[in-house]
Structure 1
Amino acid sequence: MVTLDNIKEAKENLKDVAQNTPLTLAPILSELFRSEIYFKKENLQLTGSFKLRGAYNRIANLSQEKRDKGVVAASAGNHAQGLAYAAKQFGCNATIFMPEATPLTKVSGVKSHGAEVVLTGENFDEAYAAAMKYKEENGVEFIHPFADDDVIAGQGTISLELLEEIPDLKQIIVPIGGGGLIAGIAIAAKAINPDIKIIGVVASGARGMKESYKSQSPIDSASVRTIADGIAVRDVNPKLLDIIIDYVDHIVEVTDNEIANAILFLLEKHKLVVEGAGAVATAAIMHDKIEIEDSKVCAIISGGNIDVTMLSQIIEKGLVKSYRKMNLIIKLMDKPGSLTKLSEIFKECGANIVQIDYDRDSVKLEFGEAQITISLETKGEEHQRVIGEKLKQNGYRFKQI
């Protein structure tokens, strides 16, 4: 069993490696929910996530003989980067098995620290099975991303930092994938202040731990699918479940749309680049999944290693949902001046054209017709309504997409 003393020892191991990441007030959320809401910004940790803490502590506690043989791990990305960095510091070879769909930014991060990467399987659990096979065949030490006492203790050092800065903290909201982060945070926090509440957050597409917590026994997800790849864990580890049952007060879930909203909110309002798993605690607050009024709360931003392609998609969809971008398909006569006349309407409405595609060859079009797909910068829902009315008044057939 991991104890507060183990976590304090881990802090000593990490003193020259892991950063004491910023803990800052989130003014917009605090005002909205009439509470003091803080962000613990582990996305600014070395390697871009909290995982460095547990991985480094685990290798620091290995014998030199085991380090010399090398280590192997399975990871959706952040544990891999933390372990690769730690192994490099100790001069230890590391082989990391990662799901085939792991974002390029995470794969590149692992390779940059000198580890060997093997992409295999559709999710963490399939990569884990391949890593365990490699362990048996090569006699190397397996470093589990969450079900390991040294790893749990390393993650628990976050609580020590939190409660040193804010001793009267009332709630800590923590992402849950495999459970190592929330287990370490909860053990340390409850040992220091038994009255503090620990709230876990899972993604709706990977809700095995929430279902298991509710039933008090392991229930594996049939499948996992979520933009929060860092917490896309299918199988529930019994050891972690027991700790979570004992120490965690409540578990909630957030959808991918809610996670995307939080990613965009953190980027736009707080200038923070955050991955899906790192945004779930903020998403739970934003979408009223947790009772926090008149409280002092910390949301753990666990990581920032988001693929730029995914970030681009989230931004694009966010602009459409917030009525700041309007995408239209419009039919018009294929003759000189038609496009000019249409653009004059947008000019009158004060809408800026940012992209346009002109199609006159589609078999779905009548002869003499053309179809354009156009993207406009707009100023809100009312502005888009005015544009639609103006198009109708001028006889245009269009569809908003």
Structure 2
Amino acid sequence: MVTVNEVFEMTRDALELIKSAQRRRLIYRTPLVKSDTISNATGAQVFLKLEALQKTGSFKARGAYNAITRLSREGVKHVVTASAGNHAQGVAYVASLYGIKSTIVMPQLTPWIKISRTKRYGADIILHGESYAEAEAKAMEISKELNATYVHAYNDPLIVAGQGTIGWEILEDLDEVDAVVVPIGGGGLISGIATVIKKKRPGVKVIGVQSEGAPSAYLSLREGKIMGVTSVDTIAEGIAVKRIGDLTFNIMREVVDDVVLVSDNDIVNAILMIGEATKVIAEGAGAASVAALLSGKVNVKGNVVALVSGGNIDMPMLTKVIYKALAKANRIIKIRGLIPDRPGTLSIVTGKMGELGINIIDVFHERFNPEIKPNYVEVSFVIEVPPDAKAVDDVLTELGKLGYKFWTERF
């Protein structure tokens, strides 16, 4: 088994390779930016390492570039891998740079955007299984059948070393770092980053974040042995892994200080906060580190770096996420009331809301409830709430003056 010291030396080599790729714009050196909004919400000085702006939309391009560049030098002509989407894009992209054929197995419910972008880089796509684990088993089978080289998404020292270059960049860009917070799926990302951070600045805390619906690393580090889970259930498909790797487990238990769990609702809130604070779109996995800070699951002070690891999210899912986050923050609410079922009444109600500056998002009618009088209709409005919370009370009061009783209702 490769040791932490060996991985650290491999990250040095990977850094030179990645820097060479960055000079040619094949890989990006992503920005490290302070977010005053997130800092104010957490009480720490929060800096975001925006790998969502990386080539292919996630950090995965780094590990893929490091591994496949070295494989190309060995004359490899065909690579196979399994991925929930981001590693797939990284492998397909780098393979295309070297004229290497790539075959990618992805779970059947992989977001369309990740499938289409992987195809765009010329990969052959096979959709198989409901989870990454099932896709991985199929991919390994295919690699043997085709006599191709398998490139693991995280349990590979070259992949880990490539991801570790992020750690070097953080230390180069920020003189004082107190903590680094990193999402964990299979563990390749945090293994690389934590190896560099702990070797260079041992006093810096490195904290991993997993979804409650995919807690393999969390359970494994607490039990002292690899603990898989039978199923995963989270909107953060990029970290929806049933079992962490042997290599990454051994590294993590040496260099990772703690792992915490966040809920999907925590992640939803973080996606909205990142978008509003930085104008950067984060996918579920990419927002997990910020979710841990905003929810208080990670409570650290000083200079804290949160890795926004990817931004490949389907627009339909992004729409759902934003509306759920706005509803949870009471920035959109539902009001309900009874009005006479006759022409012009609805126009009076909506007209009054318009006068008060209220934007109506949706309207629902209920005529079939037997408890409602036949000449009345129950109407529900989903509305945007202005910054002044008193505006909602004003709406209810003004509608009451017109003779219509409305009240707020939870979603």
1:354-379 CA-to-partner distances (Å, cap 9, x unmatched) read 33355657889764443444322222
Instruction: Report the counterpart of residue 126 of structure 2 in structure 1.
Output: 118
Alignment deviations for residues 85-142 of structure 1 (CA, whole Å, 9 cap, x no partner): 0000010010111111111111111011011111121111111111111112211111
Identify which of 211, 225, 232 aligns with 2:240. 232
1:304-343 matches, within 5 Å, as 304-343=311-350
**Aligned position for 1:54:** 63
Q: Is the 8 A contact 2:335 2:406 kept in 1?
A: no
After superposition, the C-alpha distances for 1:161-198 in whole angstroms (9 at most, x for unaligned) are 11112243221111000000000011111111222211
SS at match of 2:210: strand
1:297 to 2:304 alignment: yes
- Match among 17, 21, 27 for residue 13 of structure 1: 17
Partners of 1:122 and 1:291 lie apart in 2 by 35
Hey, what's the Cα distance between the residues in 1 that align with 2:85 and 2:180? 24
1:150 aligns with 2:158: yes
344-353 vs 143-152, greater mean Cα deviation: 344-353
Using structure 2 for the length normalisation, give the TM-score: 0.90
Q: Percent identity?
A: 37
**Comparing 390-399 with 297-306, which one deviates more in the overlay?**
390-399
Matched residues in 2 for 1:62 and 1:233: separation? Answer: 26
Q: Distance in 2 between matches of 1:332 and 1:123?
A: 49
Choose from 162, 171, 176 the match for 1:163.
171
Please name the residue that 2:194 is paired with: 186
Q: Secondary structure at the match of 1:234?
A: coil
Counterpart CA distance in 1 for 2:179 and 2:87 is 26
Cα distance change on mapping 1:371 and 1:195 into 2, 3 Å: same
**Aligned-residue offset at 1:345:** 4.1
Answer with 30-39 or 11-20: which moved more: 30-39
Provide the secondary structure at the position in 2 that maps to 1:72. strand
TM-score norm. by structure 1 comes to 0.93
Give, in angstroms, the shift of residue 391 of structure 1: 4.8
2:362 partner SS? strand
Whole-angstrom distance in 2 between the partners of 1:81 and 1:310: 19
Greater Cα shift, 364-373 or 109-118: 364-373
Distance 2:364 2:203 in 1: 59
**Matching residue's letter, 1:38:** F
Question: Matched residue of 1:61: which SS?
Answer: helix
Distance 1:362 1:141, change over 3 A: farther
Aligned: 1:92 with 2:100: yes
Measured against aligned partners, the alpha-carbon deviations of 1:185-225 in whole angstroms (never above 9, x if no partner) come to 11111111222211101111111110111111111112111
**Matched AA of 1:11:** L
- Contact kept, 8 Å, 2:72 with 2:98, in 1: the verdict is no
In structure 2, how many angstroms separate the alpha carbons of the residues matched to 1:228 and 1:202?
9
Mean Cα displacement is larger for which, 49-58 or 389-398? 389-398
Task: Compute the displacement of 1:350 (Å).
Answer: 3.9
Mapped contact 2:154–2:245 kept (Cα < 8 A): no
| Counterpart check, 1:352 vs 2:356 | no
1:16-35, Cα deviation, whole Å (9 max, x unpaired): 23211111112223344443
Match of 2:84 among 76, 96, 104: 76
CA contact (8 A) 2:156 2:247 kept: no
Counterpart code for 1:3: V
CA distance in 1, matches of 2:162, 2:255: 17
- In 2, Cα distance between equivalents of 1:364 and 1:351: 29
Distance (whole Å) between structure 2 residues aligned to residue 141 and residue 350 of structure 1: 61
SS at match of 1:3: helix
Structure 2 portions without partners, runs of 5+ = none
Q: Which amino acid aligns with 1:36?
A: Q
Do residues 374 (structure 1) and 378 (structure 2) align? no
Structure 1 alignment gaps of length 5 or more: none
Deviations 1:39-82 (A, max 9, x none): 111111111110001011111111556522x1111001100000
Match of 1:130 in 2: 138
Any conservation in 2 of the 1:66–1:140 contact (CA below 8 Å)? no
* 1:103 maps onto 2:107 in alignment: no
Q: How does 1:189-228 map to 2 (within 5 A)?
A: 189-228=197-236
Q: RMSD over aligned Cα, in angstroms?
A: 2.2
Pick closer, same or farther for the CA change 1:120–1:363 going to 2, 3 Å: farther
Q: Distance in 2 between matches of 1:63 and 1:132?
A: 20
CA distance in 2, matches of 1:19, 1:90: 18
Distance 1:116 1:325, change over 3 A: same
Count residues with an aligned counterpart. 399
